[in-house]
Amino acid sequence: MLFRSPNLPMANTVDAKAIGLTSLAALSGGGAGSWGAGAGAALLAVTMNGSKGGGSDGGGGGSPVPAKISGKIFAGPVVSNGKGDLTVKAYDSTGKEIGFLAQANNDGSYSLNIDKTYKGVVLLKAFDIDTSNKNNPEHLDESTQANKTLPTLTASFYFDGLDAIVNITSLTMAAAIKAGFKADGTPDTQSPPSQTSVESANALMAKAFGLKDPLLSQEVIPTVDATGKTNPNANAYGVALDLLSHL
């Protein structure tokens, strides 16, 4: 499917699948032609098998002075918060819950607080807190054009005690896995995520898909709107997410 995207270094349109295969190939060192139906599994293998940087993430205690972490969730356009089911939680590099649970809004935006005295790796996890409820879809699946329950998505970053914008997408999840977190958001206990590993993984994913760095805070404009109508103003990030929805 072709999408007009004036922000991409191409003529007037962009082929989401073609640009994505090229990007995925760049991650593994292979050619675009080697990516087919198994591209999703290959991407996961790349993210899980890539090397992680060293370093520690520290920690701290003291009076709970909160910093604001905010952003939006994207897996295709978010169409509702599932009547309150769409939730974001924050964890440290050991898997301990930190900050306050946040209920996302109907447009996928969220905001939560983390104690400013904490310094270290943070894993944000967006998920449906009540998966038994299938009658309140939360996002438009670009590959099927159907409204579905949001899959678990994550994003990892180094928290320095300051307010931050962190969007949570399938691409930030791939980066979090590469950094040392599992698909469910739990850390690799043998090699816990560090400041170096999360920052390197986020930068790698941005570069592989031709996106700006930092990956986490840049604007996401999906290829379709909440009704499924093609968005002619989609940007490179939106095209990347469209590709991943088809894998």
Phi, psi of 199 (to 5 degrees): -70, -40
Nearest to 172 by CA among 104, 73, 48: 73
d(CA 119, CA 225): 37
Q: For 53, phi and psi rounded to 5 degrees? A: -80, 165
At residue 150, the pLDDT reads: 85
Interhelix angle 195-208/16-28, rounded to 10 degrees, is 140
To the question of pTM greater than 0.85 for the whole model, the response is no
Mean predicted confidence (pLDDT) in 124-153: 83
Q: Over the chain, what is the mean pLDDT?
A: 78
Tens digit of pLDDT for each residue in 5-28? Answer: 334 333 333 444 444 444 444 444
As a whole number of angstroms, the distance between CA 156 and CA 229 comes to: 31
Beta pairing class for 2-4 and 13-15? antiparallel
Average pLDDT over residues 191-212: 94
Distance of alpha carbon 172 from alpha carbon 123, whole angstroms? 10
β 13-15/86-92 pair status? unpaired
69, burial (CB in 10 Å: exposed 0-12, middle 13-18, buried 19+):
buried
Query: Is the bond into 214 cis (omega within 30 degrees of 0)?
Result: yes
